[in-house]
Chain A
Amino acid sequence: MRDHADEWARHLDEALVDLGIQPAVAQRLAAESVEEARVSGVAPRDLFGPAVLYARQLQGALLPAESTGSPTASAPGRTLLQLRGVTKRYGRRSVLRGVDLTVRAGEVAAIVGSNGSGKSTLLRICAGLTRASSGEVRRAGRVGYVPQDGGLAELLTAHEHFMLFGALQGMSAGRAVCTGEQLASRLAWRPTRDVLVQHLSGGTRQKLNVVLGEIHRPDLLLLDEPYQGFDHGSYVDFWHQVYGWRDAGAGVVVVTHLMHELDRADHVVELTTGAGE
């Protein structure tokens, strides 16, 4: 068991160095990962998966720290989302009119607009939950959807949510909980094992929402004002995280009403009663 853990740590160390992580940092990360698995009572490979793949996850997690404050994305990759002339009507009422947007891997798009301008509807269309009345919607890759509210089970704990969403990707319960806790720590949140969602504060519920949106490592993240209820520190962590996802190669679409974040986004879609980029 110990030999397998050492071998896995060596592979992780090598893979991290190959990915451009400094040798001293790679060595420390490998040692910490093995220790975390030991505390959890499982083999590192069972907890984190293959060393090479986990190295990529760690690299993605490290990027936010390295890109702090940088609004510049790496070169955009393949197209993940393409909207052309998207409209949505409910009866005679037109909610969206002629929305165009293209989001590639490694890009952040911000959706802004007043209340009732169709921001959440647009995100639901991107998620495939609502059908557009006309226009073209194309999407690639796995999607993580974070709704503005709801989407949680009040009488389950955060850890049970991690298990439920992790199971969809074939994760064991232990691995899902560890992954969830890792992702939560990036939002300065340490989930408590036995606290039900109904007893969490509004901001903490939103943090859980964000973690569940990314627990299956989506290529495209759709976030509907997920920072509501966040304190200032968490809010900063959140935007840090958004650009971390971007730098790790994910596409991000985020609904926001905070204008000072817009200069950092690659695309801005402003919705009124009709909309365009």
Chain B
Amino acid sequence: MSAAARVVTEMTLRELGRRRTVLILLVLLPLSFYLARRDLPGQSLRMLELGLGWAVSTLALFSTVAARDLDQRLRVAGARVRDIALGRLVAVVAIGLVLGVSYAVLVALDQDFHPYDGVLVGLGVVVVVGAPLGMALGAILPKELEGALALMVVLAVQMLADPAELLAKVLPFWAVPEIGYYTVDGAGQDYLWRGVAHAGVSVAVLCTVAAVAAAARLRLVKLPEP
């Protein structure tokens, strides 16, 4: 990671850290999902993971859209797209992981899952998938409202679709129910690995889409020398 990308990460963290209301809502979103189904441990965990994925992807979306003018200026001043995009991605993932670890502690105290590693993997997966998902949508759709609605479509369909159907499998958070079978229903480790593999592919695809979209959005016209 270059020095420029590190500074972008640091400044993104500082800026997001000053959005107190956003941070509070960021904590409340997964928590409300979790508490709404707390009577059913398996469902509460799945809802928590999807809520965390939603929160992280929304944060990435708004972070990307809000910084567009600044990023264009940084480009003119000589910044590389990869430094800008990587810097912001790392910042959002870092915040997401802090949230994920906090919720992992909450689940450990409040519920009784065996094996517990599925909880950690499930929470980690939604963070690393959610961040590039939000960035990709933020780079493709220029307006905040458009991006937010698109994100709602993706997440709502993911929640409603039957995990066994193709529709659910092509959506980025399919790993959540798969890992849930392992963590909650006692299914074999193959479910865990299938979920992790799906998340890996999702991250690769979403990072590629986010990088291509960011490169297009922040592209500078090549001007020849006089």
Verify B221–A151 contact, CB threshold 8 A.
Answer: no
Q: How far is the CA of A204 from the CA of B6 in the complex (A)?
A: 28
Q: How far is the CA of A144 from the CA of B78 in the complex (A)?
A: 9
Verify B226–A168 contact, CB threshold 8 A.
Answer: no
Verify A153–B11 contact, CB threshold 8 A.
Answer: yes
- Taking CB atoms and an 8 Å cut-off, the chain B residues in 50-95 that contact chain A are 67, 69-70, 72-74, 76-79
A42 within 8 A of B: no
- Taking CB atoms and an 8 Å cut-off, the chain A residues in 112-147 that contact chain B are 125, 127-131, 137-140, 142-145, 147
Verify A216–B223 contact, CB threshold 8 A.
Answer: no
Closest Cβ of chain A: how far from B41's Cβ, in Å? 39
A163 in contact with B11 given A169-B78, A216-B78 (CB within 8 Å): yes
Q: How far is the CA of A154 from the CA of B77 in the complex (A)?
A: 19
Q: How many B residues touch the partner, as a band?
A: 20 to 34
Binds A, one of B13-21, B140-148, B205-213: B13-21
Verify A128–B226 contact, CB threshold 8 A.
Answer: no
Verify A143–B76 contact, CB threshold 8 A.
Answer: yes
Residue-wise interface mask of A (149-177) relative to B, using a CB-CB cutoff of 8 A (1 in contact, 0 not)? 01111011000100111011110000000
Verify B76–A127 contact, CB threshold 8 A.
Answer: yes
Closest chain A residue to B15 by CB distance? A155
Verify B8–A128 contact, CB threshold 8 A.
Answer: no
In the complex, chain B residues whose CB is within 8 Å of the CB of A147:
69, 73
In the complex, chain B residues whose CB is within 8 Å of the CB of A144:
76-77
In the complex, chain A residues whose CB is within 8 Å of the CB of B11:
153, 156, 160, 163-164
A196 within 8 A of B: yes
In the complex, chain A residues whose CB is within 8 Å of the CB of B67:
153
Verify A129–B220 contact, CB threshold 8 A.
Answer: yes
Verify A150–B69 contact, CB threshold 8 A.
Answer: yes
Closest Cβ of chain B: how far from A143's Cβ, in Å? 6
A82 within 8 A of B: yes
* Residues of A that sit less than 8 Å from B by CB: 78-82, 102, 125, 127-131, 137-140, 142-145, 147, 150-153, 155-156, 160, 163-165, 167-170, 196, 212, 216
* Residues of B that sit less than 8 Å from A by CB: 3-4, 6-8, 11, 14-15, 18-19, 67, 69-70, 72-74, 76-79, 220-226
Give 4 A-B pairs besides A144-B76, A164-B74 with Cβ atoms closer than 8 angstroms.
A140-B225, A144-B77, A164-B11, A216-B77
The 21 sampled A-B contact pairs (Cβ below 8 Å) are A102-B226, A125-B221, A127-B76, A139-B223, A139-B224, A139-B225, A142-B78, A143-B76, A143-B77, A147-B69, A147-B73, A150-B69, A150-B70, A151-B69, A151-B73, A156-B14, A164-B11, A165-B74, A169-B78, A196-B18, A216-B77
